[in-house]
Amino acid sequence: MKTLKKIALALCIAASMGAVSTSVMAEGDAGRITYAPADAIDMVANKVGDAIEALTKGEEVAKVDALIKDALDAGKEINANDRVFAARDKVNTKVKNARKLLKDGSTQEAEALLRDAQKGYLALKGLI
């Protein structure tokens, strides 16, 4: 009887963990678009490319800053594994530094950092 009680208790605990586990319920929300890691990396690299293009054309700093902000926001969609996450953080730091340089008026350095960041984003595909 003691063994039967232990088995029943273990089954109840396992069932309750499965019922409320976040990994069991992990799926995209109804209004949220989820991207495959490679698609998200391409999307972010393209957004950084758009910012570089706007910077080389001599667009206003506010417009380039908005494009960089869009790239940083889209970078949150890159979800593959811990190695990709750590590498993405390093590349995001470059983008943030480029944004800071752009606000300070150093467009050449900002452009160089953005180009380096774009290469860094594309290199993330090798870590998937």
Average pLDDT per block of 10 residues along the chain, 128 residues long: 86 74 55 75 90 89 90 85 88 91 88 91 85
Residue 23's pLDDT is: 54
Residue 28's pLDDT is: 55
Own/partner long-range contacts of 68-77 (Cβ < 8 Å, ≥24 apart): 68/95, 68/98, 68/99, 68/102, 68/114, 69/99, 71/44, 71/47, 71/95, 72/96, 72/99, 74/40, 74/43, 74/44, 74/47, 75/44, 75/121, 77/34, 77/35, 77/40, 77/43, 77/44
Let me know: does 53 contact 68? Beta carbons within 8 Å. no
Residue 25's pLDDT is: 55
Looking at the domain covering 36-127, what would its CATH class be? mainly alpha
Residue 96's pLDDT is: 92
